[in-house]
Amino acid sequence: MRIIQKNTKSNGSMLSGIFLAAFLATLGTSAVNIALTAFMQDFNTDLNTAKWTLTGFMLAMGTVAPLTGYLGQKFSNKKVYLYAIIGYTLASAFCAFAWGSTSLIAFRILQGCFSGLIAPTAMTIIYQSIPKEKQAFAVSLWSLAAYLAPAFGPTLSGWLIETFSWRAIFVINIPIGIISAIMIKFFVPYYKMDKAKRFDAIGFATSIFSSLMLLIAFSESSTWGWSSPKTISLMSIGMVILAVFIWRELHFKFPILNIRVFKYTRYTMSVIVSCIITIALYAGSLLTPLFLQNVQHETALQAGLILLPASLVMALIMPLVGKLYNYVGPRILIFTGISLIALGSWEMAHLTMNTASSYIVFWMIVRNIGISLSTMPSTNSGMSAVPREVSGDASSVNNWIRQGLASLSIGIFTSLLTVRTAFHAKSIAVLNPGDKLLQLKSFTLAVNDIYKISTVIILIAIPISFYLKKESKSKVIIEDIEESVA
């Protein structure tokens, strides 16, 4: 690596630019979660269609994530980050002027493409530019930005929808994007590799098609049926193409996604834990707003206000985790965090139509404290296990898997929600024919089922967390000396 332009700005100024960009990218998901009902009403469509404003966005994020390593080497991470923010801002403007569900989904996919470049590039910049002893705190600040958006996103989105319309949730991105682009232009240092690797077109194509086919299969399984020829065919073809992609990336000299980073055991374990936390995060962000609006008939603003305390607690705790990490290491934080996520998810699996808002607020706070305690330690423990020269590849792989899993999770959870709602509706109808609250009761039971499933998945991360440890200070010092000598 050669430094074309040395960073003469303070780390604080650089992190401020990264902070704002991360906030903007995450706002694109959290703000839309609460707007699904508004989309359904305005475009006269159903949940299976409206969900594609989320799943399409997440799929696009996961699809472009493998490109970040190549683009960063070819153009520099600063340029990629800057142009990604500019593109995201323009796509937000297009979303604001969407004329139907199809156009909105298309523009959201475009927005997701740019958003997918932001997170891995930000992480790469942090691990390339910040001294190792300060990386944990830098990652915690970056994570804070990523979770401040969920803190204010639902409430802000609800207020904008109630006061103006759902279009306002995209308009507000424009000034934030402009300010962020200016800060990145002047405060983020310019790093560039001496020689960029060749572009792996076949690897990129296979990653797109495998992700797309698997997502469609899981998302539409509730409509087609799990045993439907279309579901089985798409799932089978997607798995075959995914296997081809993995084989090529392992054998090609210049892979678009360097999955060889999985040879670092601690990194592999951290990715697994991060994926499980991601599933827990999106289960809550999808299910709870739908329950509040569809079952308890809360407005978008009221639903956002109910979710606000939990998100604020998560945002406030995140910076403290960076400090605690240096004293206790990742194991204790991750174990405690995952235990709290599991407890909160289990309690959220016992909702009724008349569940008090205070109950939801309390247990969502418990879940989000757990997410705060475990997110940064699981990421930093893995990223610190890989050499700095492959940090861009490790970041791309991490984000590709997490974003792909996030989009699949939304698709699967939505599909299960439909299937389990129908199952419970049939059961209730047999026991109590003519029940006027049939749909609301069955929907509530379906939400509980998915929370129970997510609880079981979360518990898997507990034994894995013991593999994650803090890097020794002697190793950090040796690596820094080697890099300074080089």
CA dihedral 304, 310, 311, 314 (to 10 degrees): 180
Q: How many CB atoms lie within 10 A of CB 448?
A: 19
Q: How many Å separate Cα 412 from the centre of its chain? A: 15
Q: E-strand spans in 235-281?
A: none
Q: What angle do CA 272, 278, 284 make, to 5 degrees?
A: 145
Separation of alpha carbons 369 and 380, rounded Å: 18
Query: Over its length of 486 residues, how does the chain's per-residue pLDDT go in tens digits?
Result: 444 444 545 566 777 777 788 888 877 777 887 888 889 889 988 877 888 898 788 778 877 877 777 788 788 888 888 999 999 999 999 999 998 899 999 999 999 999 888 877 887 777 777 777 676 777 777 766 766 676 677 788 888 988 899 999 999 999 989 988 888 888 777 666 555 567 788 888 888 888 788 877 876 776 777 788 888 999 899 999 989 988 998 888 878 778 888 888 889 899 999 888 888 877 887 889 889 988 999 987 888 889 889 888 887 887 788 778 888 888 899 999 999 999 999 999 999 999 999 999 999 999 999 998 998 888 888 888 888 777 777 877 887 787 777 777 877 888 888 889 989 998 888 777 766 688 899 999 999 999 999 999 999 999 988 878 766 544 443 344 333 333
**How distant, in Å, are the alpha carbons of 58, 69, 235, 246 from that of 241?**
20, 22, 10, 9
* Predicted local distance difference test score (pLDDT) of residue 85: 92
CA atoms within 13 A on the CB side of 320: 9
* Predicted local distance difference test score (pLDDT) of residue 180: 86
Helices (H) and strands (E) in the chain, counts: 20, 2
Separation of alpha carbons 178 and 466, rounded Å: 43
* Predicted local distance difference test score (pLDDT) of residue 486: 36
What is the identity of the amino acid at 457? I
Separation of alpha carbons 164 and 157, rounded Å: 10
Separation of alpha carbons 131 and 86, rounded Å: 28
Q: Are 13 and 141 in contact (CB under 8 A)?
A: no
Q: How many CB atoms lie within 10 A of CB 10?
A: 10
Dmax over CA atoms of the chain, in Å, equals 79
What tokens were used for 185?
Answer: 């232009």
